[in-house]
Amino acid sequence: MKVKHILYFLFLFHSFAYAQESLDFNAKKNISSPEVNGKTVTFRLFAPQAKTVKIQGNWMDSSPVDLQKGTDGVWSFSKADFTPDIYTYSFLVDGVKANDPNNAYQVRDVSSLMSMFLVAGPQSSSYEVQRVPHGSVTKRWYASIGLQEDRRLTVYTPPGYESNKGKYPVLYLLHGMGGDEEAWMTLGRASQILDNLIASGQAKPMIVVMPNGHTSNAAAPGESAKGFYKIDMMTPDIFTGDMETYFHEIISFTEKNYRVKSDAKDRAIAGLSMGGFHSLYISANQPKMFDYIGLFSPAILPPQNKQSPIYSDLDAKLDVQKNNGYKLYWIGIGKTDFLYQSVTDFRNKLDKNNFKYIYVESEGGHTWSNWRTYLNEFVPQLFK
Amino acid sequence: MKVKHILYFLFLFHSFAYAQESLDFNAKKNISSPEVNGKTVTFRLFAPQAKTVKIQGNWMDSSPVDLQKGTDGVWSFSKADFTPDIYTYSFLVDGVKANDPNNAYQVRDVSSLMSMFLVAGPQSSSYEVQRVPHGSVTKRWYASIGLQEDRRLTVYTPPGYESNKGKYPVLYLLHGMGGDEEAWMTLGRASQILDNLIASGQAKPMIVVMPNGHTSNAAAPGESAKGFYKIDMMTPDIFTGDMETYFHEIISFTEKNYRVKSDAKDRAIAGLSMGGFHSLYISANQPKMFDYIGLFSPAILPPQNKQSPIYSDLDAKLDVQKNNGYKLYWIGIGKTDFLYQSVTDFRNKLDKNNFKYIYVESEGGHTWSNWRTYLNEFVPQLFK
């Protein structure tokens, strides 16, 4: 680049920086953080007046850890030997949460925003955007007659869907209590996982439909007529039976609007936590609908609305499902998950009834790291 | 709700909260911030150890303003008489930038993340999600032969597009130097503006195509094979002529893949800042392509690559464009925009050549507030 070009850019940069709404060009010192160097990551924060700066990360079992202050007012902390994965963290500056102002990448989980980074390696390459054909991701609305409102869902269509003529199998992929129709794309990296598995021939091209599992919310926070309301996890719609009751609307919307195969052997349903609970009951109540079922750390807890016919006679329903036959019933849970015991109880019930399933027990707990891994393992087994 | 239901929720809430990756359930005191009460907004932060807490908002011309500390360790600041609009802000805690931990809504502008809120009123109702039919928004990739890579764009299709049979007009909508193919949806609220204008009959149903205007980036940060790189505004692709040269690929992709009308009277192009510059030169170089052109605070600056045929003979090209005819050439700029003089110079050139245009001079500067307003004014004038 010629000198005059460099000068030109400097001029532009300063003009635009001044004009941007970005408010913190002066408040942050432009340092490198997080600096990912192989499996070692260094975190830095410019905070000359702070008395303490700590970091809390999702790889830590412990309390927040102190950063060390340098003579230039930059605090820092390094950690080696990260397992390749996506990680989240926040700083605590004199007790106040502050995300890393030098890191533009954040994710929201429930009502919390956290800085994020990726440590590259074999285990995390499926979460990266690779130079492979990419599917399309659409935010779309369907009319729910049962819930009397338009509701939003996310649809992944595989590379080539628009130009091909053929029909595709469908995976319905459900989120947990803290999530919405965006969670599998943001925290779950579903489009990257699907793109990469399809490109390498490990998975069949498929459509993935990700609805919103909260029947009291039409869409993700900020994307519905509720506006920018304060997010509260205590939505009164958990385990009421409404999601299961009206799920057929999502299936018919999909089958009407996309070129999909509409028989059980080309339909899968899977979900994490609350979505695992939903997948269990949706498939048990419609025992001819899905040949593939995935329960990722499922929240198999006593249903709130016990009177609902959705939750009655589960044993008899599972018996019908078993006799109808299915190709895959997949259950995954982490060894330290707080739901471990309830999943063990459910497995005992299945064992007693000779209900066949694949069981994967992983390290760790109730985490997106596990759910990304489960999706990566589950999807290649579909529609074979 | 019965007591046992409430207890049940409390149990679930605490179990899941413990299990979430959300790291700051203890670090933040769960207070209401920002509290929007009509046109008065109160900001609060729990920071008992801090020596100073300031707020910097995009409504302020001044330096950051102090919050006052209460006896409970909660700092607060109120301001009345907000004009209805979307606003962004950050706190400064002992000099360190911290977004509001009680506000889950953030936007990214270039490399900065800011907390956001909306003050409701007539001027901002077009940015809100209303109970009207919603269009679909798709993130999709097209193959660029000229740039030798797959590139991402965002496509808005209006309500009913999927079930109707007819063809639609298209608006190509370009972002500025700090943006990408997501900026018009996040900061620009384009899908809400289009949904609301179409629902009220003020705008014709149309498709809106929002490409990435940086030819050195295939997609928004984090969405391309570059991974989670550190964002730098000084990309060496500004005003090189590449965006203009290869724009025909985006038009042919759109016309091949969507049911669109393909004549000048059903094509519009508009852009903000750098995208206004692009819109000027794309339309001037293809003078029979667009009947509607919108320049929103356009960055009409000396092109970097003066040798490019794209930038040569502008006067002659504008003359051809004038003689071909067009329906609308719309220019908007704020009175305090740092680009005001260059737009005045360009208007003088147009006036001298009897090149007709509509000119709107607004209050304020180089801001998303203006660009949302301009889009809201421009779109109803299209395809009449």
Of A306 and B347, more confident:
B347
The angle at the Cα of A66, spanning A61 to A72, to the nearest 5 degrees, equals 150
Task: For residue B114, give the nearest of A23, A90, A301 by CB distance.
Answer: A23
Helix (H, G, I), strand (E, B) or coil at B325: coil
When pLDDT is averaged across residues A49-69 and rounded to a whole number, the result is 94
Asked if the model's pLDDT at residue A28 lies above 80, the reply is: no
Given the candidates 2.40.40.20, 2.60.40.10, 3.40.50.1100, 3.30.70.20, the CATH classification of the domain at A22-120 is 2.60.40.10
CB contact under 8 A, A27 and B227: no
Q: Distance between CA atoms of A221 and A198, rounded to whole angstroms? A: 31
pLDDT given for residue A307 in this prediction: 82
**Strand order, beta sheet including B35-37:** B35-37, B40-46, B74-79, B68-69
A118 in Cβ contact with A36 (< 8 Å): yes
Q: How far is CA B351 from the centre of its chain?
A: 30
Asked if the model's pLDDT at residue B13 lies above 90, the reply is: no
pLDDT band at B8; cut points 50, 70, 90: low
Residues in A 102-131 with any Cβ partner in B closer than 8 A:
102, 104-106, 108-114, 116-118, 120, 128-131
A269's enclosing H/E stretch is: strand A267-272
Identify the weakest region by mean pLDDT among A342-351, B299-308, B357-366.
B299-308
Q: Is some CB atom of chain A closer than 8 A to the CB atom of B306?
A: no
Q: Distance between CA atoms of A309 and A92, rounded to whole angstroms? A: 48
When pLDDT is averaged across residues A50-67 and rounded to a whole number, the result is 94
Asked if the model's pLDDT at residue B133 lies above 60, the reply is: yes
When pLDDT is averaged across residues A323-333 and rounded to a whole number, the result is 97
CB contact under 8 A, B304 and A49: no
Asked if the model's pLDDT at residue B136 lies above 80, the reply is: yes
Instruction: Kindly state the percentage of chain A with pLDDT values over 70.
Output: 91
pLDDT given for residue A26 in this prediction: 43
pLDDT band at B176; cut points 50, 70, 90: very high
CATH annotation of B30-119:
2.60.40.10
Residues in A 276-295 with any Cβ partner in B closer than 8 A:
none
Identify the weakest region by mean pLDDT among A18-32, B235-249, B313-327, B341-355.
A18-32
Asked if the model's pLDDT at residue A20 lies above 70, the reply is: no
Per residue in A104-149, pLDDT tens? Answer: 999 998 888 999 999 999 989 999 999 999 999 999 999 999 999 9
pLDDT given for residue A151 in this prediction: 98
CB contact under 8 A, A118 and B27: no
Each domain of chain B, given as residue ranges in start order, spans 30-119, 127-381
Q: Which of A282, A353, A275, A274 is nearest to A315 (CA)?
A: A353
pLDDT band at B29; cut points 50, 70, 90: low
Q: Which of B289, B243, B281 is nearest to B262 (CA)?
A: B289
pLDDT given for residue B25 in this prediction: 41
Q: Distance between CA atoms of B278 and B256, rounded to whole angstroms? A: 23
pLDDT given for residue A90 in this prediction: 96
Per residue in A355-381, pLDDT tens? Answer: 999 999 999 999 999 999 999 999 999
Mean pLDDT, chain B, as a whole number?
Answer: 91
Instruction: Kindly state the percentage of chain B with pLDDT values over 70.
Output: 91
The residue length of chain B stands at 384
CB contact under 8 A, B225 and A131: yes
When pLDDT is averaged across residues B179-192 and rounded to a whole number, the result is 97
pLDDT given for residue A235 in this prediction: 67
Strand pairing class (A328-334; A358-362): parallel
A127 in Cβ contact with A193 (< 8 Å): yes
Q: How far is CA A151 from the centre of its chain?
A: 19
When pLDDT is averaged across residues A266-273 and rounded to a whole number, the result is 98
Q: What is the CB-side half-sphere exposure of residue A308 using CA atoms within 13 A?
A: 18
pLDDT given for residue A19 in this prediction: 45
pLDDT given for residue B16 in this prediction: 52
SS (H, E, C) B195-226: HHHHHCCCCCCCEEEEECCCCCCCCCCCCCCC
> Bridge partners of A77?
A43
pLDDT given for residue B111 in this prediction: 86
CB contact under 8 A, A90 and B138: no
Report chain A residues whose CB lies below 8 A from the CB of B336: none
Fold of A127-381: Rossmann fold (3.40.50)
Asked if the model's pLDDT at residue B22 lies above 60, the reply is: no
Report chain A residues whose CB lies below 8 A from the CB of B219: 129
Residue appearing with tokens 């009834």? A353
Peptide bond into A287 cis (omega under 30): no
When pLDDT is averaged across residues A303-326 and rounded to a whole number, the result is 91
Per residue in A208-224, pLDDT tens? Answer: 999 999 999 999 999 99
pLDDT band at B303; cut points 50, 70, 90: confident
Q: Distance between CA atoms of A175 and A184, rounded to whole angstroms? A: 7
pLDDT given for residue B11 in this prediction: 52
Asked if the model's pLDDT at residue B18 lies above 80, the reply is: no
Residue appearing with tokens 């003089």? B341
Range list of β-strands (E), A30-174: 35-37, 40-46, 53-57, 65-66, 68-69, 74-79, 85-93, 96-98, 106-109, 112-119, 136-144, 149-157, 170-174
Q: Which of B241, B375, B233 is nearest to A15 (CA)?
A: B233
List helix spans (H) across chain A: 3-19, 183-186, 190-199, 242-245, 247-257, 274-285, 314-324, 340-352, 368-378
* Burial group, residue B345, by CB count within 10 angstroms (0-12, 13-18, 19+): exposed
When pLDDT is averaged across residues A78-105 and rounded to a whole number, the result is 95
Per residue in B219-264, pLDDT tens? Answer: 999 999 999 998 876 666 777 899 999 999 999 999 999 999 999 9
Peptide bond into A303 cis (omega under 30): no
> How many contacts does A have with B, using Cβ atoms within 8 A?
264
Q: Distance between CA atoms of B95 and B101, rounded to whole angstroms? A: 16
pLDDT given for residue A25 in this prediction: 41
